[in-house]
A and B are shown apart, each in its own frame.
Chain A
Amino acid sequence: MVQYQATLDHTFSALADATRRDILERLGRGPATISELAEPYGMSLTGLKKHVRILEEADLVTTEKVGRTRECRLGREQLEDAAQWIEMYRSHWERRLDRLEAYLERKKGNRK
């Protein structure tokens, strides 16, 4: 029970970061190497490895050394719960509302 609670603490603190939620979403589309994951953020490999390590400690991600690269994939079992879905939808809505806001602002500008 105590152990279970500790795991959940790891899970939720791992999810409380936008970059890490992005990484999970990216891995939801298939496995990727550390450098592939780092690319969209223009982040250093060291910086990205830190995020991956936190996700790994929460069992949200597993990594495996393949040749000279490290491949990351989703830790499936942990993600089968509501948290995965809620986080994914939340991040979708936040991004969409940013765009909707930009759309409305532009439309308002055109009317003036």
Chain B
Amino acid sequence: MSFKILPKAALSEWIARLLTTHRVVGPRPFHDRFIFDEITSPEDVHLAYPTTLLPPKKYLLPQREELLRFDLKTGTLEPVLDAQPTILLGVHTCDLHAIQLLDRVFNNTYVDQHYNARREALTIVSVECLSPCTEFSFCKSMGTLSVTEGYDLHLTDMGEDYAVDVGTEKGAALLEGVEAVRDATSADYERLNRTLSEKWPRFPYRLEADVSDLASLLSVSYDSDLWEELGQRCLGCGSCTMVCPTCYCFNVVDEVDFTLNAGRRYRHWDGCPLQEFAVVAGGHNFRKTNAARQRHRFFRKGKYQMDAHGLVGCVGCGRCGEVCLVHINPVDTFNELARRRVPVSRRHQEALT
């Protein structure tokens, strides 16, 4: 929409102003790491953070989210929709890509009003990533190191100033009446272009296949021995899915309060690597082995989401690789599949002989 300049010196004042009208959530230190959390003063926010333990997904799909409340005496029930106006500050581009996927998932065929209520109440202020987060991140390989849409405001750190890309009216409203904000000049455009072009060499390519080739790589790797090897290592703890910005699978559970007169139905995060994920009443497990569950997870990331929603299911944030106790990560997995891929001509020859 338009391009503005916000001097860094005015950032605190701007955030203080946002705090008067909205709940503000942003990256803040937590022990020696960072988390997305509610901000109470501008000093809490660290926009130049590496990565967060959990993605900002938790503000759209909370770990535990009330769906319904019911009264057991009267047998009545009512839906719970949370629409607290919230500004999400400092979202990295990988996480923004993940939110775009979630937007599609929760509006595909059936519209999820609970997700949309939170989504519509959210104003997203993303930040341009200028250096790699961790040794595990591989956003450049996944094509998520930049964004062109999905944000309300997008900030790029240019030293003394932030370049502010205004994406929506909702974003523009956050800047209204802020005196320090000015229109960008042609010199600012030059500064921004330089900042952006200088950032790319700092990020390594880590995938040995092109991201657009992932779905087809997986489609010829369904019977790979690698799944069994990963299955042998995997502990089935589900940590990978708990930290993933694109994992959205959930379980739905009822809870009755201590009076036994009322209760609630809520959904909570669930994950396909967990042993009981596909178990039906009676005990049959439709995905019995760690190997099959690991394969399913990686197929969701590299192929199924792309097929169903047109967006890649892994955004390269690196969180799952970092938390995995047995060092399973998407980069090594996809690269190993690429190395083991049998060339088409050889498959043809083998089929003929």
Does A pair with B? no
A residues whose Cβ falls under 8 Å from a Cβ of B = none
